[in-house]
Structure 1
Amino acid sequence: MKAVRFHRYGDVDVLGVEDVEPRPLGPGEVLVAVMAAGINPGETKIRTGALHERFPATFPSGQGSDFAGTVAALGDAVTGWAAGDQVLGWSWERSSQAEYVVVPADQLVRKPDELPWTVAGALYVAGATAYAAVEGVDPRAGETVVVTGATGGVGSLAVQLLRLREANVVAIASTRHRTWLESQGATFVEYGDGVADRLRRAIEGGTGGVDAFLDFQGRDYPDLALSFGVPPERINTLDYGAAARLGTRSQGSAEGTSQAVLAELAQLAASGRIEVPISRTYPLAEVRAAFTHLENDHPLGKVVLVPPALA
């Protein structure tokens, strides 16, 4: 099969698509023919070595956690699945950006018929992260929650999950995505220099205070949240260093990972209660272009690798 590989840390030029053998099926495992595999900013940080201390790579390394596809083969003792079943799920082995992926059967859920392949294959990492972050700050109806990085794969879902819980959302993002955010019922604040003053004006024009803060950007945002009087236990950031320094929450995909959560998100997306924006799709062979778009263009929503027929 074809699979994404890299043999050293570096920029997108270290990525390649190579011929590899799928690993043998063990008991309780399933072979899935991949129809879509979302890509994520965390994979960039792993590939460049920025997360070496926390998530080191073993070379040659594959890539990818998100996927959706059809069941191709079953290992011993697998029940509840049959060849041809349409599924979505996750891999812990950095192996989903490939034509086939092997995972334990309990890392799969059934794909709703109404859910497009591209959305199904992009749902796990962003969805689990957004779900865990929202649960971590426990928003209540009428509370004001600030979201940074509000139009990335994670942020765009968090905004919608907050609105489903009837929270007031203040979204910090690029001006070019303002229309989409406002269509989701969020109050828009432009990121960049002067963001604290713009956020203060937005809050003063609304409820007058910030109850919780979801940070998907890092940098100075956790400190900004504290300056607005948000208690540390109601701040969730993906900047693990800032979380350790400030005593905030740092719940992410690990805390949101379960079949029940992924199935719930799939049903929300299939029913139209949440939207999973897909910025672009690329064939597996164009993985370098896909990550270039993700890393340089700050797209709305997700970037997805798919078979050439779906690109």
Structure 2
Amino acid sequence: MRAVQFTSFGGPEVLRIADVDVPAPGPDEILVRVAGAGVNQLDTKIRAGAMPQGRPAAFPLGTGVDAAGAVTAVGPGVTGVAVGDVVFGTGRATMAEQAILTAWATVPRGVDPVEAGGWGVATETAGRLLTELGLREGTLLVSGASGGVGSAVVQFAVARGLTVIGTASAPRHEYLAGLGAIPLAYGAGLADRVAEVAPHGVDGAFDLSGAGVIPELVGLVTHPTDVISIADFTAPGHGARVSTGATRTMRPEDGFAEAAALPGFALRVERRYALVDIADAHRQAAGGHTVGKLVVTP
């Protein structure tokens, strides 16, 4: 089968299409024929060698975490899913014609599996952030709200009854309003703009873009720990928190299930790429200006 691999860290140009054996699912894993696979900024950082590996990289490496498609094989110990079922989730080396998933949920009826290919990381992260914040009522500020994670956070939070303020550039305000958020411009003067729409303040804030806004967000909440970032690792220096997959205390499937059960949940696909155009997809993802998701179709 065809799969994307790279044999050294570097720019998008290190990505190549290789012919590899179809992987076999291990215990508690499934194999899917990939309909769509989402591209995340995390993928670009791993490819560039910017993420700690813990041990020397064993090249060649695959890329991709998100995927959706029909199940073609199930590993030992797997229950509740059968060959032919259409699922979405997260796994490894998903930029391929077939890929292993280690966590998954059923694609809701009527949802295009290609679109659902970008749901995994976004919905897991959104569910994790909201669980860690623990906000049951009040107002949530989401800095960098128009990307994949932000789009999922807004929809989850609105469905939970929270008032959501989302920051983004002006052309994305209509999109955020359509998700149920109050859109605001980011940048200088944020506190004043927030005060206009939330005169009683905000009860929690997420930094999804790593744009250096942690001090401003901390100034808007009651306590610094009410601010959580997924992109700015200096946040603890301001009393705020950082959330990563490594600090996860909930199952990825919990976020998947919340998305699957939420009527009308969707993540806009800004652009679809063919597998052979994976380098271009990485270039766009690395720029951090995607509205919704980028999805690769093998």
Query: TM over 0.5: same fold?
Result: yes
Q: Which moved more, 1:296-305 or 1:202-211?
A: 202-211
Q: Does residue 259 of the first structure (1) align with residue 259 of the second (2)?
A: no
1:209 is displaced (CA, Å) by: 1.2
The partner residue of 2:99 within 98, 101, 105 is 101
Q: Does residue 132 of the first structure (1) align with residue 128 of the second (2)?
A: yes
Q: In the alignment, what sits opposite 1:2? A: 2
Q: Does residue 24 of the first structure (1) align with residue 24 of the second (2)?
A: yes
Q: Name the TM-score, length of structure 2 as normaliser.
A: 0.90
Pair 1:267–1:188, CA change in 2 (3 A): same
1:302 is displaced (CA, Å) by: 0.4
Q: Which moved more, 1:286-295 or 1:6-15?
A: 286-295
Residues 150 and 156 in structure 1, CA contact (< 8 A), matched pair in contact too: yes
1:298 is displaced (CA, Å) by: 1.0
1:221 is displaced (CA, Å) by: 1.5
1:205 is displaced (CA, Å) by: 4.2
1:82 is displaced (CA, Å) by: 2.8
The number of equivalent residue pairs is 296
1:169 is displaced (CA, Å) by: 1.7
Residues 86 and 113 in structure 2, CA contact (< 8 A), matched pair in contact too: no
Pair 1:203–1:61, CA change in 2 (3 A): same
The partner residue of 2:117 within 118, 121, 139 is 121
Q: In the alignment, what sits opposite 2:290? A: 299
Q: Does residue 212 of the first structure (1) align with residue 204 of the second (2)?
A: yes
Q: In the alignment, what sits opposite 2:60? A: 60
Residues 227 and 240 in structure 2, CA contact (< 8 A), matched pair in contact too: yes
> Any idea what the Cα deviations from partners look like across 1:92-146, whole Å, max 9, x if unmatched?
xx31111111345xx23222222211222111101111111122222233x2221
Identical-residue share of aligned pairs (%): 34
Instruction: Structure 2: state its 5+ residue gaps.
Output: none
Distance 1:80 1:140 in 2: 31
Per the alignment, in what secondary structure is the counterpart of residue 164 of structure 2?
Answer: strand
Q: Name the TM-score, length of structure 1 as normaliser.
A: 0.86
**Structure 2 counterparts to residues 51-90 of structure 1, below 5 A:** 51-52=51-52, 57-90=57-90
Q: In the alignment, what sits opposite 1:289? A: 280
> Any idea what the Cα deviations from partners look like across 1:134-171, whole Å, max 9, x if unmatched?
22222233x22211111011011111222112222221
Pair 1:117–1:60, CA change in 2 (3 A): same
Per the alignment, in what secondary structure is the counterpart of residue 118 of structure 2?
Answer: coil
1:291 is displaced (CA, Å) by: 1.8
Instruction: Structure 1: state its 5+ residue gaps.
Output: none
Please tell me the root mean square deviation across aligned C-alpha atoms, in Å: 2.3
